Amino acid sequence: MKSICLIGFMGSGKTTLGKALADELSVNFFDTDEEIVKWRNMDIPGIFESEGEKNFREYESEVFKRLPVNDAVIATGGGIIESRNNREWLKQHLMTVYLKTSFKEIQRRLSFEQNRPLWNQEMNEKKRLYESRQRLYEECANQIIHTDEKTIEELLRSVQNSINFSKQG
Ligand code: S3P
């Protein structure tokens, strides 16, 4: 099986769903943010502050390409699709599922968020970032799943259905 890769904006539930899905499928789970933190031995806000977003993106792309393209579930950071090269990788090597969440719902979920540097900015900037990424997520996705008002069980079922469907096809 190709690895299943979850993409989507911050707060779309990639990590939570990814862990549950990996459990269900009995495969390993990876999270690009977690891999970066282990490798650089620093948390994400620390990397943004001391090294800047550009370096963070380089680390992100590097850990992403090292993750298995078969038999795993991968949760990515919301900005993985900023790089054209990563988008090509998503399209070529992975079964990519976009967890699409409305901006309103993301605002609700991240209302007390402190650890995401790009959420810690003016509302206009956050909205602009959200809007500008939509077409990039969609461009890479084999499957789009809407997450607003869905339980984790419902989301799990949707992803599993799409995996079964792609096996038949
Ligand atoms: C980012 C999303 C974060 C993390 C970093 C940058 C982004 O991951 O990679 O703060 O650019 O959207 P999550 O999507 O898991 O929050």
- Six-digit token pair at 47? 């990397």
- Give the model confidence (pLDDT) of 97-140 as tens digits: 999 999 999 999 999 998 899 999 999 999 999 999 999 999 99
Report the alpha-carbon distance of residue 27 to residue 22 in Å, rounded.
5
pLDDT recorded at residue 114: 86
Nearest residue CA, atom 15 of ligand 1?
Answer: 77
Strand (E) or helix (H) holding 10: none
Q: How far is the CA of 76 from the centre of ligand 1 (A)?
A: 8
pLDDT recorded at residue 100: 98
pLDDT recorded at residue 133: 98
**Which residue from 61, 145, 50 is spatially nearest to 96, judged by alpha carbons?**
145
- Give the model confidence (pLDDT) of 31-59 as tens digits: 999 999 999 999 999 999 999 999 999 99
List, chain by chain if needed, residues with CB within 6 Å of any ligand 1 atom: 10, 14, 33, 44, 77-79, 116-118
What atom of ligand 1 comes closest to residue 129's alpha carbon? Answer: 12
Query: Comparing 169 with 69, which gets the higher pLDDT?
Result: 69
- Give the model confidence (pLDDT) of 65-102 as tens digits: 999 999 999 999 999 999 999 999 999 999 999 999 99
Longest dimension (CA), the chain: 48
Residue that the structure tokens 């370096």 belong to: 55
- Is a pLDDT exceeding 60 seen at residue 169? no
**Which residue from 22, 20, 19, 16 is spatially nearest to 3, judged by alpha carbons?**
22
